Structure 1
């Protein structure tokens, strides 16, 4: 029983970590697009 709980918690942590990576990656893209728009506006 304890083993199943540990496996479930580990799987949940992996899923949350994967979701966070996607979120951070999306924020990075947004910041990059804002920077590119600023470069175009200045040029």
Structure 2
């Protein structure tokens, strides 16, 4: 039973990490787009 609990916890951590990395990537992409817009205006 302990092994099953460990596996479930490990899966949850991995899935949470993927969502976090995806979110950071999206934020960086949006920031890059804003920088491009400002650079094009100058």
Query: Which runs of 4 or more aligned residues in structure 1 lie more than 6 Å from their structure 2 counterparts after TM superposition?
Result: none
How many residues matched? 40
Distance 2:22 2:12 in 1: 15
Query: Which residue of structure 1 aligns with residue 34 of structure 2?
Result: 37
Deviation per CA, 1:1-43: give whole Å up to 9, x if none.
xxx1001000000001000100000000010001000000011
Output the TM-score relative to the length of structure 1.
0.89
RMSD (Å), alpha carbons: 0.4
Q: Which runs of 5+ in 1 are unaligned?
A: none
Q: 1:19 pairs with 7, 11, 16, which one?
A: 16
